[in-house]
């Protein structure tokens, strides 16, 4: 079915309710979403080893508000299936500025989703959010310790944040959503003993709808991470959240029908500023959310990461190989990571990480072109700006010429697009 047909068939998406309970020492949050006329989603999120005694010290109004907001952050993943023209919030009250925030997030955070699905609905008609709940929540000031929570993705960026903060002798803790084996390797290498884990389950009904032909695509995951990191900071007593979003995230992939399409919108400085204002007004007044790497480009971070060889055999940025804990060597993330690290690592270090020379793979030439914006938009992945990609190719070419008598195929091909 088309987006128009789905919107007619499913005119209203309702955030019906939220609930939470303890299962042993784990804190379990559950949510109910209903889509007229006949769909219900019941996703849940589990905070591991939350500590019942610790959570019970949090005032009930604050706890309810935080869980209510995790439900709000879940909405994009489920709402996008039918793109209902109206979202009803029955689980709590949203003030007008909050509605504006969520409408803005859905519009910008689902820009790639709309582009990929060729959905040209104007912003004015995209979604109406109606607040139908009875419970109103307000931001509070909480007693928290002066320490820093670092959400860990397992790639170079969050590792650089960790190591730089360690150098500043900050009191640190790590948070991982849906941890894999390689995350635990990175944590062990870091030497940081406080690690908090959470597991987010996608409701199987959504997966069934995807298979049945309902709409699917990218959602603003880093926005979700911002909200759940705030909950974690409250639960475990952290005053600051240091995320690892770089300056490169501000560049859109393309402009389509006058609309900026940015795969990394929820990593951008625009989202960061809006979330900071929202959190201070409607969540917790005295917990700071800030990107520690905002002033740096991806290539700058790669150069810094090259100074931490202890992580070379553990870190991972490949989405395809995420669960298997290895680089696939075929995707945009693999090629981009290889490209920006190449100038700063010797042959042995590159082989330790990637197992082979990706620049020798002819099949990756189209990807390399797309990084430069040749023949289409840059890939819809977390990759750098076109300007820094050119710089990285220039540096990599100079490095390769020093190491070898002939350029590998990928570098030989892109050489005509860059000035070396």
pLDDT in tens, the chain (420 residues): 899 999 999 999 999 999 999 999 999 999 999 999 999 999 999 999 998 888 999 999 999 999 999 999 999 999 999 999 999 999 999 999 999 999 999 999 999 999 999 999 999 999 999 999 999 999 988 888 899 999 999 999 999 999 999 988 889 999 999 999 999 999 999 999 999 999 999 999 999 999 999 999 999 999 999 999 999 999 999 999 999 999 999 999 999 999 999 999 999 999 999 999 999 999 999 999 999 999 999 999 999 999 999 999 999 999 888 888 899 999 999 999 999 999 999 999 999 999 999 999 999 999 999 998 887 788 899 899 999 999 999 999 999 999 877 899 999 999 877 765
- 19-35: pLDDT as tens digits: 999 999 999 999 999 99
Say how far apart CA 50 and CA 22 lie, in whole Å: 9
Q: At 407, which helix (H) or strand (E)?
A: none
* Cα–Cα distance list, 241 to 152, 285, 290 (Å): 11, 13, 6
Q: Which residues of 116-154 are buried (b: 16+ CB within 10 A; e: fewer)?
A: ebebeeeeeeebebebebeeebebeebebeebbbbbbbb
CA distance 27 to 52: 8
Query: H-helix or E-strand containing 393?
Result: helix 386-403
Sole residue written with tokens 């009930």: 60
> Across-strand partners of 288?
240
Question: How far is 15 from 133, CA to CA, in rounded Å?
Answer: 10
Is residue 283 classed exposed, middle or buried when 0-12, 13-18 and 19+ CB atoms within 10 A define those classes?
buried
Q: Give the DSSP letter string of 277-295.
A: HHHHHHTBTT-EEEETTTT
CA–CA gap between residue 141 and residue 123 (Å, rounded): 35
| CB 357 within 8 Å of CB 396 | no
Question: Does the pTM exceed 0.85?
Answer: yes
* Cα 388 to Cα 126: distance, rounded to the nearest angstrom: 34
Token reading at 27: 């804190």
Among the listed residues 182, 119, 128, 127, the one whose alpha carbon sits nearest the alpha carbon of residue 153 = 182
Go through 373-408 and write b for each residue having 16 or more CB atoms within 10 A of its CB, e for each that does not.
Answer: beeebbbbbbbbbeebbbbbbbbbbebbeeeeeebb
């Amino acid at each position: 079915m088309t987006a128009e047909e789905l919107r007619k068939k499913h005119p209203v998406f309702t955030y019906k309710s939220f609930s939470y309970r303890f299962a042993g020492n784990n804190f379990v949050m559950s949510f109910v979403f209903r889509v007229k006329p006949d769909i219900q989603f019941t996703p849940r999120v589990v905070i591991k080893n939350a500590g019942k005694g610790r959570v019970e010290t949090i005032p009930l109004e604050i706890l309810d508000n935080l869980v209510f907001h995790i439900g709000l952050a879940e909405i994009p993943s489920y709402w996008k299936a039918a793109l209902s023209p109206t979202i009803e919030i029955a689980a709590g009250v949203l003030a007008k500025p909050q509605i504006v925030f969520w409408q803005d997030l859905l519009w910008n955070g689902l820009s790639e989703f709309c582009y990929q699905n060729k959905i040209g609905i104007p912003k004015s008609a995209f979604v109406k959010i109606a607040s139908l709940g009875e419970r109103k929540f307000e931001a509070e000031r909480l007693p928290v310790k002066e320490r820093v929570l670092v959400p860990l993705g397992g790639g170079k960026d969050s590792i650089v944040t960790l190591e730089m903060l360690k150098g500043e002798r900050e009191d640190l803790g790590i948070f991982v959503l849906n941890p894999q084996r390689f995350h635990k390797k990175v944590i062990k290498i870091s030497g940081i003993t406080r690690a908090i884990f959470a597991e987010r389950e996608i409701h199987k009904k959504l997966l069934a709808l995807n298979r049945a032909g309902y709409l699917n695509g990218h959602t603003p995951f880093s926005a979700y991470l911002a909200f759940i990191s705030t909950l974690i900071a409250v639960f475990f007593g952290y005053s600051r959240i240091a995320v690892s979003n770089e300056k490169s995230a501000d560049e859109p992939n393309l402009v389509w029908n006058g609309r900026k399409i940015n795969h990394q919108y929820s990593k951008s400085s625009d989202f960061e500023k809006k979330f900071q204002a929202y959190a201070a007004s409607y969540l917790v007044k005295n917990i700071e959310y800030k990107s520690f790497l905002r002033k740096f480009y991806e290539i700058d971070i790669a150069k810094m990461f090259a100074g931490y060889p202890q992580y070379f055999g553990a870190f991972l940025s490949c989405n395809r190989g995420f669960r298997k804990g290895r680089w696939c060597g075929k995707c945009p993330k693999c090629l981009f990571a290889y490209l920006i690290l190449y100038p700063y690592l010797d042959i042995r270090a590159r082989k330790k990480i990637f197992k082979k020379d990706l620049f020798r793979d002819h099949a990756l030439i189209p990807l390399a072109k797309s990084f430069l914006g040749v023949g289409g938009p840059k890939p819809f992945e977390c990759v750098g700006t076109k300007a820094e990609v050119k710089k990285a190719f220039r540096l990599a070419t100079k490095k390769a010429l020093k190491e070898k008598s002939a350029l590998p195929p990928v570098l030989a091909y892109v050489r005509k697009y860059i000035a070396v």
